[in-house]
Structure 1
Amino acid sequence: MRKLILATSVALLTACSAPQQEQINIMPKAALSNSDIVQGSTFSLTSKDMRSAQYIALVDSGRSNIEPIHAKQNLRISIENALLEQFQSQGFRSTLNSQNSIFVEVQQALVTVKHSIMENEMDGKVVLQVTAETPRGKLVKTYTGTANRTGMLSASKDEIELVANDVVNLVLKDISEDRELQDYMRERF
């Protein structure tokens, strides 16, 4: 019994002292509207993360070593909260039992980083699918944002974070400015 307790203690201490993976902050900023599109039309908002892996960045140092970097926050919830704030700034009101619904699917969110000692190249891509549904129909739209950035030396965690947030914010801005989605929600919600 003592050996089992000792082995368990050693395993726990080893796990506690293992290096933690790097994480970055993903904090989407809602693209807020200056004026209401509607007055109090209700909707319910749900979302789902369809990505097969939950990391936000892949860093390739060129030595057959690819390191995933995760977000500190839950990406799906962060995007959902930003979209909720956007729609509320347009005059929509979120409720749990509305017949009108918006469903957001996170299909892709990744920054690929290739770097060496002398230079780095980052490619970011975010794909969100938004489905606005009412008893009178459904509108499905896909929004894609991309960004490319090159720099000197290795890419820092802050630079990767900047690219990831910029691409997410770009997609959120596209959603907030989409006239077709606005018209659909104004007429049917």
Structure 2
Amino acid sequence: MKKLVLAASVVLLAACASPQKEQINFAPTAATSAAKIVEGKSMSISSQDVRTAQYVALLDNGRANITPVHARQNVRIEIENALVNQFSAEGYQVTVNSKNTLKVEIQEALVSVKHTVMENDMNATVILELTAENSKGKLVKTYTGTAKRSGLMSASNEEIETVLNDTVNLVLKEIANDTELQDYMKERF
């Protein structure tokens, strides 16, 4: 019995001492407006992450070594929360059960990083699909954000975080400034 406890302790300590996979902070910021667009309209927001893989960055050092990097936070939940804040600031009451629904589908959120000791190139792509729907109809729109950044030395996690968060924030601003979506929701919600 003592040997079993000792073996279990060694395995547990070895697992704690093993290196942790790299992770970055994912913190999108809602594009809030100073003036309310609507008053007293309710809606519910749901989201789905349909990405084929859950990492948010791929690091390629050029030596046949590609490393995935994950976000510390859940990408789907963070984007949904940012949109809840964004639409609440516009005057919508976000509730659980509403006839008016906004579905968010995360199709891509990825930063591809090619780096060497001397330089790095980052390409970010974020694709969100929004479906505004109720008994009066349905509007489906796709929003895409891309960014490219180059720098000296290897890319740090902070630089990757900045590129990813900035790209998501650009997509959120595009959603906030989309007059077709605003008009559709004002008329039908």
- The answer to whether TM tops 0.5 is yes
2 CA distance for matches of 1:66 and 1:7?
Answer: 34
- 1:85-124 equivalent positions in 2, closer than 5 A: 85-124=85-124
> RMSD in angstroms over aligned alpha carbons?
1.0
Deviations along 1:9-57, one digit per CA (max 9) or x if unpaired, are 2221111100111111111111111211110100001101111211110
Using the TM superposition, give the Cα deviation of residue 90 of structure 1 relative to its aligned residue in structure 2, in angstroms. Answer: 1.0
Unaligned runs of 5+ in 1: none
> Are residues 1:185 and 2:188 paired?
no
Shift of 1:2: 3.8
Tell me which residue corresponds to 1:82.
Answer: 82
1:48 and 1:165 map into 2 onto residues whose CA distance is: 19
1:176 aligns with 2:176: yes
Question: Equivalent residue of 1:14, what SS?
Answer: helix
1:48-87 equivalences in 2 (<5 Å): 48-87=48-87
Offset of 1:188 from its aligned partner?
0.6
SS in 1 for 2:56: strand
**Partner Cα distance (1:179, 1:104) in 2:** 18
The CA deviation at 1:8 is 2.1
Structure 2 match to 1:132: 132
Take 1:38 and 1:5, find their aligned partners in 2: how far apart are those partners?
63
Q: Which residue number in structure 2 is paired with residue 19 of structure 1?
A: 19
Where do 5+ consecutive residues of structure 2 fail to align?
none
Letter in 2 for 1:16: C
Q: How far does residue 93 in structure 1 lie from its aligned partner after superposition?
A: 0.6
Give the share of equivalent positions with the same residue, in percent: 60
CA distance in 1, matches of 2:98, 2:40: 12
Q: For residues 14 and 52 of structure 1, what CA distance do their matches in structure 2 show?
A: 31
In the alignment of these two chains, the number of paired residues is 189
Offset, 1:122: 0.2
Question: Quick one: distance in 2 between partners of 1:188 and 1:167?
Answer: 30
Q: What is the CA–CA distance in structure 2 between the aligned matches of 1:103 and 1:4, rounded to whole Å?
A: 51
Give me the whole-angstrom Cα distance separating, in 2, the residues matched to 1:138 and 1:10.
58
Distance in 2, matches of 1:88 and 1:143, equals 20
Whole-angstrom distance in 1 between the partners of 2:75 and 2:40: 28
Q: Give how far 1:181 is off.
A: 0.5
